[in-house]
């Protein structure tokens, strides 16, 4: 599955993307804020990631942008089922691309895809020591649930407090606009 936003192409990861993926995510400042990625993140983890099978109802995308060399991997974003049988949004953006609005733009695109796939409610969370991710979630229309729960981070090797958010896609006014 592919999705185009104003500046980005969201597309599946291919085997030849492993090196670029590794180059973006192999940064402890990124991995420590993810639940499932291990630290240290090794080249074989990137190879395994690009080879994984995907459920079409829960697509995962590389976030790419045009570059003089063709395209550049900015990060990764996707939907997945979570422990409470809800759909969860997860993402990361490489350090070289922070503070450019790519996470918000890519997330809006994935929410459009989620709506087309029939998902009505999306959950997300961020470790409380990563407030930038909370700002992204609020910017794209997520509302804090008021809950902070312990969540395991493979990158940290321990549980850390995670603030939970929710977005109801079945309410048209809640769907974030591109102008936001």
List the domains of the chain with CATH numbers: 3-174 (3.40.630.30)
By the 10 Å C-beta count (0-12 exposed, 13-18 middle, 19+ buried), 154 is classed as: middle
pLDDT of 180 > 50? The answer is no
Q: In the predicted model, is pLDDT for residue 173 greater than 70?
A: no
Segment 81-90 shows an average pLDDT of: 89
pLDDT at 130 over 70: yes
Question: Helix/strand/coil (H, E, C) string of 4-56?
Answer: ECCCCEEECCCHHHHHHHHHHHCCHHHHCCCCCCCCCCCHHHHHHHHHCCCCC
CB 107 within 8 A of CB 77: yes
175 has pLDDT over 80: no
Give tens-digit pLDDT for 140-168.
999 999 999 999 999 999 999 999 999 99
User: Which tokens go with 164?
Assistant: 């939970």
């Amino acid at each position: 599955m592919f999705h185009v936003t104003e500046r980005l192409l969201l597309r599946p990861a291919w085997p030849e993307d492993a090196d670029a993926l590794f180059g973006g995510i192999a940064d402890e400042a990124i991995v420590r804020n993810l639940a499932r990625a291990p630290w240290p993140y090794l080249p074989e983890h990137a190879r395994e990631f690009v080879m994984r099978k995907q459920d079409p109802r829960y697509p995962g995308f590389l976030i790419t942008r045009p570059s003089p060399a063709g395209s550049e991997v900015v990060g990764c974003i996707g939907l997945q089922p979570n422990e409470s049988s809800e759909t969860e949004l997860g993402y990361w953006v490489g350090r070289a691309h922070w503070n450019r609005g790519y996470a918000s733009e890519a997330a809006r695109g994935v929410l459009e895809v989620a709506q087309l796939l029939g998902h009505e409610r999306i959950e997300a969370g961020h470790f409380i020591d990563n407030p930038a991710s909370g700002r992204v979630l609020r910017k794209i229309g997520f509302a804090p649930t008021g809950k902070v729960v312990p969540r395991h981070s493979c990158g940290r090797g321990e549980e850390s407090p995670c603030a939970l958010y929710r977005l109801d896609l079945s309410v048209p006014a809640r769907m974030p606009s591109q102008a936001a």
